[in-house]
Amino acid sequence: MNKFIEEFEAERAARIESFGQDEGFKSRSQAWLEESMRKSYVYNFSWLGRPIIQNPIDIMAMQDIIWQVQPDLIIETGIAHGGSLIFSASMLELNAACGGPQNAEVLGIDIDIRPHNREAIEVHPMYRRVSMLQGSSIAPEIIAQVQDKARNKKKILVCLDSNHTHEHVLAELEAFAPLTSVGSYCVVFDSFVEDVPADVFTNRPWGPGNSPKTAVWEYLKNHPELEIDKSIQNKLLITVAPDGYLKRVC
């Protein structure tokens, strides 16, 4: 590697590590995240015409992961308007254009794919890389179909973003985290629910003490093959997935 690139990478790594120790910066970032959630900020954005209910900073992290991992299958629980599916499909399209897996695809799962969203997804140019399953992501018949889809894939990336209760996310982890390829990630979104006041979310069954983050902590007690990649949240600072970027290490 060129020495100038090595110096740049070393400087970046040192800066990211320092961010993880900067309590003031982290506190201000957390305050911004909390306020943005109160104001429904993440509903402001679209990807290639489809609403994508994600923090733009996490979208940057996901494109970086997709480029590094070069998955031939991305599994996503939670579809909503389909923006995340279209984002993932477009990243796989770019990977293919750059010599990556040519037949890579994204599989989306949702308990209720509303007809107008399904129609919009199915007419999108990126739909050729998308397939969808309607049903609970923790139902045995759905899990079996996902496992069948993953059977001959070499590199699998998993993204969990549906029902955010502890019980549901833990069941999703049990079902889908084992499909994550070594060196790839199982990303558990909205783990930040654990870190904000309960009144940030109204009329929701999840909250502090009953969140994706508590499910992650519980799952990792018995699954050392996955580790929290702290470097990602230290790099982002503003993220909906603190302790949620789980890397498969063995």
pLDDT, one tens digit per residue, over 88-126 is 999 999 999 999 999 999 999 999 999 999 999 999 999
Instruction: List the one residue out of 167, 142, 120, 165 whose CA is nearest residue 76.
Output: 142
In 3-state terms, what secondary structure has residue 183?
Answer: coil
Place 2 in a pLDDT band, splitting at 50, 70 and 90: confident
- Tell me the whole-structure pTM to 2 decimals: 0.97
Please tell me the predicted confidence (pLDDT) of residue 56. 97
In 3-state terms, what secondary structure has residue 131?
Answer: strand
CB count within 10 Å of CB 40 equals 9
User: Tokens in use for 193?
Assistant: 């629910």
Domains of the chain: total: 1
Average pLDDT over residues 170-187: 98
CA 186 to CA 77: how far, in whole Å?
11
CA 83 to CA 53: how far, in whole Å?
7
DSSP summary character for residue 207: B
Question: What pLDDT digit, counting tens, does each position of 63-76 carry?
Answer: 999 999 999 999 99
User: Tokens in use for 217?
Assistant: 């902590």
CATH number at residue 68: 3.40.50.150
Q: Which domain holds residue 233?
A: 3-248
Place 202 in a pLDDT band, splitting at 50, 70 and 90: confident
Cα 240 to Cα 69, 174, 199, 221, 237: the distances in Å are: 21, 21, 17, 22, 10
Q: CB neighbours of 165 closer than 8 A, spacing ≥ 6?
A: 205, 206, 210, 211
Instruction: List the one residue out of 162, 151, 171, 181 whose CA is nearest residue 218.
Output: 171
pLDDT beyond 80 at 1: no
Cα 1 to Cα 9, 28, 64, 65, 121: the distances in Å are: 11, 36, 20, 21, 42
CA 17 to CA 15: how far, in whole Å?
5
